[in-house]
Chain A
Amino acid sequence: MSLPTPGTDLRNLWQSQETERTVVPLEQIQMKARKFLTKNRRDAIARFAFAFLASVFFVFAVMTTRRTTVRIVAIVVMAMLLTNAAQRLYRAYKPRAARPTDGVGSPWSSCVEFYRSELEKQRAFASQPVWQMLAALLVIAWLVPDALHHSPDPFRISLPVVLFAAAGLLVLVALRKFQAHRVQRDIDALDSFENENFPGGIDDSTIRK
C-alpha cells in the first residue's frame, strides 16, 4: 500500500484499505435462512413442550397441596409459562409479511429510526411496570410469614428458599432498572443527536482544508 502524502484524502485511504473480499455464496445464505427458521420453530416447540410438562406438574401441585399460597403461585407461574410458550409458537409459525419495524423491513425506515426502535424495545424489556414489582413484593410478603409459620426451625427448607427467591427477585429488578436507565441515556443522546442543528446549516467551503 502506498504511503500517504500530505494532501492525501483520508477517504481515499479508507476506501483503498485491503479487504479479504469475502463473498458469501447464495446457497450458504439460503441455507442459513432455513436453519434460522428451523431453529426458531424447534425452540418454540421445545419451549411449549416444556411448558406443557411443567403445567402437568403444577396441576398436580394445585390438586394435592392444601396451602393456598402454593396454589396461587403455581397457577400464576403456569399461566405465565403457557402464555409465553403459546405466543412464541404462534410467532414461529404465522406467515410473515415484511413489516417496517423488523429486520427484513428495516430499510423502509431510516437508520436513526431503526436505532431508536431497537433502543425502545430494549427499554420496554428492561423497565418493568410498577404493578409487576408490587405484585412480586406482595407475593413475597405473603410467602415469608407463611414459610415462618410452617417452619419453626429456620434451617428447614422453605424459609431459605423463599428468602433466596426474594433476594434474587430484588437483584433482578435492580439490574433491570439499571439497564433501563442506561438505555434511556442512549435514547436521550439520540434525541440531542437528532435535534441539534445550526440554523441555516454551514457553508462547506469554509471547512475545506
Chain B
Amino acid sequence: MPDSGDRNELYHQVIGAHGRAIERLARAYEADPDRRQDLLQEIHLELWKSLAVYESRCALRTWVYRVAHNTAAKHVIRRLRTKPEVLVSLEEIPKLVDDRKQATDTDSREVIKQLMELVHLLKPPDRQLMLLYLEGIDTESIAEIIGLSSGNVRTKIHRLKAILARRFHQGATA
C-alpha cells in the first residue's frame, strides 16, 4: 500500500498522464458546467482516495478509468433519481437518431458537439464503452476496465462504429 508521499506522487503522475481524458470524461457525463466541476472534483477526490489501496494488481490506466467511470456512473444514477430522463443503449440509438440528419458540418467543434449529444443519450455501460473507444483504448483493455468479454466488447464496438459511420460519414469516418 503506498504511503502518503508515494500516493501524492502517484496522483501527480496520474493527473499528468490522464488529466485531460478525465476532463473529457466529465464533459461526457455532465453537460452542465457547474455540476461538471463538482463531478470533476469528485472524480479527483475518489482517485486520490483510491490510490491509497492501489497495489499494482492491474495497470494504473485501468485503475484510473475504473475509478473515473464508476464515480461518473454514480453521479448519473444520483441525477436520474432527482431528474428522471430516458437514457438508451447503443442498439436503440439508430431508432432515436435520424440518419438523414447526418453531420455534414466540417467544423470540428460542431462534430464534437454532435458526438457529445450522442454520448449524453447513452446509459452508463454503453457510454463507458463509447468513451473508452474514443479515447483510443484497445479492445482488451476496454474489456478489462468494463468487465465484459473481449468478444462482447468487439460486438459493441462493431455496432458503435456503424452508428458513428452513418452519423458522421461526411464529416469524418469512425
Contact = CB atoms under 8 A, between A and B. Distances in A.
Contacts, number: 190
B24 A196 contact: no
Contact of B158 (A17, A107, A193, A202): A202
B148 to A, nearest CB: 7
Contacts of B133: 11
Interface stretch (A19-27, A59-67, A86-94, A137-145): A19-27
B102 to A, nearest CB: 13
B55 to A, nearest CB: 10
Nearest to A97: B53
A111 B162 contact: no
Interface string B8-48: 10011001000111011001000000000100110011101
A16 B112 CA distance: 10
Contact of B154 (A26, A104, A193, A202): A202
Interface residues of B, number: 76
A107 B47 CA distance: 10
Q: How large is the interface on A (under 10, 10 to 19, 20 to 34, 35 or more residues)?
A: 35 or more
A3 B107 contact: yes
A23 B74 CA distance: 22
A68 interface: no
B115 A32 contact: no
Contact of B173 (A22, A179, A209): A209
A23 to B, nearest CB: 7
Contacts of A106: 46, 50, 66-67, 70-71
Contacts of A16: 108
A132 interface: no
Contacts of A23: 15, 19
Nearest to A7: B173
Contacts of B148: 110, 112, 194
B73 A103 contact: no
Contacts of B74: 103, 118
Interface stretch (A48-56, A157-165, A182-190): A182-190
Given A24-B40, A186-B123, A201-B155, A98 B45 contact: no
Interface in B139-174: 139, 144-152, 154-155, 157-158, 161-162, 164-165, 168, 170-174
B134 A104 contact: no
A111 B151 contact: no
A193 B66 contact: no
A110 B170 CA distance: 36
Given A23-B19, A29-B44, A207-B161, A107 B70 contact: yes
A14 B112 contact: yes
A157 B23 CA distance: 57
Contacts of B126: 193
B49 interface: yes
Interface of A: 1-11, 13-17, 19-24, 26, 28-30, 32-33, 36, 98, 103-107, 109-115, 118-119, 122, 179, 182, 186, 189-190, 193-194, 196-198, 200-202, 204, 207, 209
7 contacts: A13-B111, A22-B19, A104-B53, A110-B148, A111-B69, A111-B124, A182-B84
